[in-house]
């Protein structure tokens, strides 16, 4: 079964064409790394799949139209964390918003139990009662990942989840994702600028407003595809994968 079918998807913001004619079919259980230069539409693609931005074309999720999908099928870790770090909130409360989809001013015992289990799954149980404003970038990423996993999603969408994470934490992050995939059979789409992460995925999408390459890493990460997407090859392993906003 296909987890995602995207057909002729286009997104325009005013005069700016963010995506144009994007089509791809993602098998259920795949781990897809999405790479491309800054402004390539990577984040916009994830938001379109989630129905967060208007688009032309079609998105089907597990055989159903986007309108027919259950929001609980998705887990999402955004690149930009939009919250006031001075807000007196605990990590546990943020994780529970993944269940409620709104801020919980009072937690049930079941919600606490599920949030603690989600934090434990990403090695962050010690952060449960720590204020969000005191978390490092890497710790905050783990809490957001726990928030995405608490609903046990069938499709996990990650926008540069290793941002602000040191190398050890990055290795841990990929280990947690692999463990969750093995346990649940979930499909993962991850925007990354990390060469190693792209090669560890079983599918790679090279994007620059259009699909430049899609398939196994050895098929998608060819010199021709990368030159077409980036315009040149850079310094790291013969590849430049631009970070920053997508």
The tens digit of pLDDT for each residue in 68-121 reads 998 889 999 988 666 666 677 899 999 998 887 767 677 889 999 999 999 999
Residue 235 lies in a domain: no
* 143 in a structural domain: no
- Is 10 within a domain? yes
Of 94, 199, 185, give the one whose Cα is nearest residue 142: 94
In a domain, 92, yes or no: no
User: Which residues are paired to 4 by β-bridges?
Assistant: 26, 61
pLDDT digits 0-9 by tens, 172-190: 888 888 889 999 999 999 9
Identify the pLDDT of residue 145: 93
Quote the CA–CA distance of 99 and 152 in Å, as a whole number. 10
CATH of the domain at 199: 3.40.50.300
**pLDDT interval class at 46 (50, 70, 90):** very high
Q: Does 198 reside within a domain?
A: yes
- CA 58, 246, 52, 205 torsion: positive or negative? positive
Q: Kindly state whether residue 65 falls inside one of the protein's structural domains.
A: yes
State which residues form the domain around 20.
Answer: 2-83+154-230
Q: Taking the chain, what is the end-to-end CA distance rounded to the nearest angstrom?
A: 29
Residue 231's pLDDT band (boundaries 50, 70, 90)? confident
| Tally of structural domains, the chain | 1
Enter the pTM of the model: 0.87
| Average pLDDT of the segment spanning 151-170 | 86
Is 179 within the bounds of a domain? yes
- Asked, for residue 24, whether it belongs to a domain, the answer is yes
């Amino acid at each position: 079964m296909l987890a995602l079918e995207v057909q002729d998807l286009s997104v325009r913001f005013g005069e700016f064409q963010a995506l144009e004619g994007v089509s791809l079919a993602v098998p259920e259980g795949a781990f897809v790394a999405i790479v491309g230069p800054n402004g390539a539409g990577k984040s916009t693609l994830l938001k379109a799949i989630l129905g967060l931005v208007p688009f032309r074309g079609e998105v089907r999720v597990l055989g159903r139209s986007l309108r027919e999908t259950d929001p609980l099928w998705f887990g999402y870790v955004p690149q930009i964390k939009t919250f006031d770090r001075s807000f007196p909130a605990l990590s546990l409360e943020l994780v529970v918003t993944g269940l409620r989809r709104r801020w919980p001013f009072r937690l049930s015992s079941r919600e606490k139990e599920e949030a603690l289990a989600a934090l434990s799954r990403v090695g962050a149980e010690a952060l449960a009662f720590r204020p969000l404003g005191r978390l490092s970038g890497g710790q905050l990423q783990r809490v957001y990942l726990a928030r995405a996993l608490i609903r046990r999603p069938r499709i996990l969408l990650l926008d540069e989840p290793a941002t602000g994470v040191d190398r050890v934490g990055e290795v841990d992050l990929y280990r947690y994702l692999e463990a969750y995939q093995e346990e649940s059979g979930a499909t993962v789409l991850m925007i990354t600028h990390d060469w190693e992460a792209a090669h560890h995925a079983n599918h790679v999408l090279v994007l620059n407003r259009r699909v430049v390459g899609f398939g196994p890493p050895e098929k998608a990460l060819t010199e021709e595809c990368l030159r077409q997407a980036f315009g040149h090859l850079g310094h790291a392993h013969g590849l430049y994968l631009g970070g920053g906003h997508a």
